[in-house]
A and B are shown apart, each in its own frame.
Chain A
């Protein structure tokens, strides 16, 4: 057990890789394609259970990392394999391991083409995603960040829809452009550290320590450039308006499991990166550029909602709703209040669960009808009552109905923004209020596009004869949705266990950003569950 807890994160990263190798070996010796999904499912479930061990200590150390492993990797450039987990990454790792088995089950009958490669790529993707959330060395982080592109590229390209090649290449190039500039910034940081202290390093904890203690200082313009280089990579990944155009294509063309993982986990890499690296490393630049990010986030919220409203394709509609939701996350983060940032983290988890669930549900109907056009449907509630129920609950969670998880996150973000002092406050107008109100309209739009879509798809009479013979959800599909629905309700009424774990890490980042604002430390109000 000691071995497991000492190397827990490494195990979580390596197990999927070994699993993928095992799958290939299994296929070479037994040639039983129908075993593959069972083996993959078993591997991902084991990984999920293992990841629950993180709850033992993860996020409980104030400002520190648990399950740390730090061994030299390439000594010539002083880069180390340094991993660890804190309150910020803890839930994202568990979200990743939780969503994987669900994604695997969702593909139970959907993948007929090349199942071996499909499951192997899914496992490799999982390894890269966990790696992103736990890396504490910038070069290793970059490595996983890039490595996550390749399996997803193949997943979209081989198992995607009609326009898959365009979507896959666009996905890859958009993300690669941003992350390469981040690489330059990472190497630049290395040299600044070398000039300041004599030792170059990619280690995040060391860099942060040097910046906090003032040993490593850079001019405001350098800080801005570095911040932008990092933020560009993450904004594309989030995606923040106007870098979002890859998202609808990738989501629409990806196979269901790919869309679920893309929405649930891959997008979170962007927001996670901003919070983990951008804020603590470049707090001054973060504050200086916050208004721009807030404006872009609000544009994203409203624009995403408006465009979602007119989509004829359900999956595309959900994809655009992601743009709007991730806008909320960005807004909360850049409010630099505990409410806002905790809410942003919580909303990341919510979005992962709700949007993941929506993509699953869209996948269910697509498997039955092989179309996602809203106009093809109508009155589905009559033939698939259970499906309709699940869909409405999930949509409500996405809209932010009280007692469901989406409400908690959006509410906290809006309180955070309202209380924030990041935007100008003049005698006549407090721009923080304006920003909150503008974002609030996004919630209304979300209700509009989702409810309107539900009305057109589920209610009324069955207009299309093809829909009459549809069967309701199978036990497998129900089993798939139950944990997600349970979490939507649980996280909606009892967010405390989640927020308690993440508070220390988030407050540390928040204080770090606020403290440098000319000494005006904002009172960090503790809050109870609303």
Chain B
């Protein structure tokens, strides 16, 4: 099987997009990359800029190599061998006050189907 894509759609409260992006780059992206996730792109809506009256939806597309890579990501461990899920959960819980909603989808390419 070819790469598996992971799409995060995060609706950030009005006025919080810059802070969320900064936290994401500092605290989430490096650990995701350590888990074998490759960044495939980032998008925002509304486009181009934030509007203080409106929430901003941020889209982060990641990928992992295959199903085995997906499970390595899912069952990752910290450097000292502990289950990393508690660290992951802490990140999502700590940033939740900046958000209104979020969704994570796992995708496969239609073009890669047998």
**A and B part of one assembly:** no
